[in-house]
Amino acid sequence: MSRLSFKEQVLRVREDAIIASVNRLLADKGFDLMTVDEVAADVGIAKASLYKHFPSKEALATAAMVRLMERTQALVDQQAARVDVSARERLTAITRWALEVLLSGEMPTVPSQNSSLRAELMANKAYLDAIMRVSDVLGAWIVQAQADGDINPALPPEVVLYTIYARACDPVPAFLKAGGNYSDAQIVDLVLTTCWQGLSATR
Amino acid sequence: MSRLSFKEQVLRVREDAIIASVNRLLADKGFDLMTVDEVAADVGIAKASLYKHFPSKEALATAAMVRLMERTQALVDQQAARVDVSARERLTAITRWALEVLLSGEMPTVPSQNSSLRAELMANKAYLDAIMRVSDVLGAWIVQAQADGDINPALPPEVVLYTIYARACDPVPAFLKAGGNYSDAQIVDLVLTTCWQGLSATR
DNA sequence: GTCTATAAGAGGATAGAC
DNA sequence: GTCTATCCTCTTATAGAC
């Protein structure tokens, strides 16, 4: 292992710590209310040092979102490797994971309104590639589940895809958690039920 | 009509115009990205004049949210007066209206994360009263719809209530609108379908 | 690459004339 | 109550020593 490689490892570890802090703060306060000072304090380094690693606040958030997408893609690949489960079960597994991350306070959320951040995200190849690959796989599963009779065939696949994506920023889990009447597992089950069965009584 | 009453009317009209601008900007950019300068420019008055009417940015947003709740309450009362429709149909009508407002870009959204704004909202009696009254009526309709066999009786009413409330800030309509493949009316119908029937195929 | 110190600017809020 | 001009804090970002 060369010295350069070692230095790069140290760099990688530090940047991982930074991204972890950003991820937490994004989940907690959102992009606009998260300050770079807070990130630096949370990581335990000076703000100027932070800017040696990432050139802007937007870059910090982008890095966190890229990591989220990488994790998502890894989970999708993992589900894709399971040949014994239906497409719908895979989709449910992904949705369940997203809800669990959301409930644990680790789902970074970025306002789709913020133009500066949106521009940087849309210019990031790693982010876009991951989103597209994930969307392609999920899209195929949706079509398969419709063929299996597990998803309403009258729904356009993109509607199904967006509805699943939206669970990652669903405000309902936080409301239910704030109410204090249900465990995280119960909340996940309740939201999955409303997502798949809807509010209507089973006919 | 006394002179004081006339002056109060002028005041009322101006403040209505301010609230309308705030409502639009909140729907467009959200609380954090909305600036008081923008509001003043949009209304066409100086910022200092704006502060004569509302003491803070939070007060501006609160006023817009109060007006939204007043409109909601009026619609709820209107639905309550219809004796020929089921509880579920009333709930659907409310949800449909919220989606239409959202799609028309007139649904003000406030981040539940922002503490200063949240504190001011929770300290506002008019806002809380309206929320509670609306929630009470919707809650009664939900219980009635469950008794009618129109809503899954296994779902706690508060889950149903939050799920309906969440339609007011659902990101799915905006995504579908951005895709450009559907009319607003089609988007409303699609989201209502996923909300009530879920993603599953009709059994 | 890490630090301290500071520049640069945005944005909420106010002073004071009219 | 409306305006212009200004204050002041917070936050992003950088300079420059080590």
Q: Between chains, do B172 and A163 touch, taking CB under 8 Å as contact?
A: yes
Q: What is the pLDDT of residues A148-164, one digit of tens each?
A: 999 999 999 999 999 99
Q: Between chains, do A203 and B198 touch, taking CB under 8 Å as contact?
A: no
Of the listed ranges A113-117, B28-32, B95-99, the one predicted with least confidence: A113-117
Q: What is the mean pLDDT of residues B16-39?
A: 97
- Contacts of range B124-131, beta carbons closer than 8 Å, 24 or more positions apart: B124/B62, B124/B66, B126/B66, B126/B69, B126/B70, B127/B62, B127/B65, B127/B66, B127/B69, B130/B66, B130/B69, B130/B70, B130/B72, B130/B73, B131/B69
Q: Between chains, do A162 and B171 touch, taking CB under 8 Å as contact?
A: yes
Residues 53-92 of A with CB under 7 A from strand C: 53
Element (H, E) at A28: helix A3-29
Of the partner residues A171, A176, A194, the one whose CB lies closest to the CB of residue B169: A171
Rounded CA separation A27/A16 (Å): 16
Domains with residue ranges and CATH for chain B: 6-199 (1.10.357.10)
Q: What is the structure's pLDDT at A6? A: 86
> pTM for this structure?
0.96
CA atoms within 13 A on the CB side of A39: 36
Disruptive mutation site among B114, B200, B202, B203 for chain A (greatest number of A CBs within 10 Å): B200
Residue at minimum CA to C1' distance from nucleotide D2? B49
**For chain B, percent helix, then strand, then coil, each to nearest 5?**
75, 0, 25
Give yes or no for residue B175 having a pLDDT over 80. yes
Supply A21's token pair: 């802090």
- Binning pLDDT at 50, 70 and 90, where does residue A7 land? confident
Distance in Å, alpha carbon of A62 to nearest chain B alpha carbon: 19
Buried b (16+ CB within 10 A) or exposed e, A38-51: bbbebbebeeeebe
Residue at minimum CA to C1' distance from nucleotide D11? A35
Higher pLDDT, B1 or B34: B34
CA B184 from chain center: how many Å?
A: 18
Q: What is the mean pLDDT of residues B184-202?
A: 97
Element (H, E) at A172: helix A171-179
- Binning pLDDT at 50, 70 and 90, where does residue B3 land? low
Q: What is the mean pLDDT of residues B182-203?
A: 96
CA of B18 to C1' of D5 (A): 23
Size of interface A-B (CB pairs under 8 A): 135
Q: What is the mean pLDDT of residues B185-200?
A: 98
Q: What is the pLDDT of residues A54-79, one digit of tens each?
A: 999 999 999 999 999 999 999 999 99
Supply A81's token pair: 């490797």
Give yes or no for residue B10 having a pLDDT over 60. yes
Of the listed ranges A52-56, A153-157, B10-14, B158-162, the one predicted with least confidence: B10-14
Q: Between chains, do B113 and A29 touch, taking CB under 8 Å as contact?
A: yes
Residues 13-52 of A with CB under 7 A from strand C: 14, 44-49, 52
Q: What is the structure's pLDDT at B8? A: 85
Distance in Å, alpha carbon of A114 to nearest chain B alpha carbon: 8
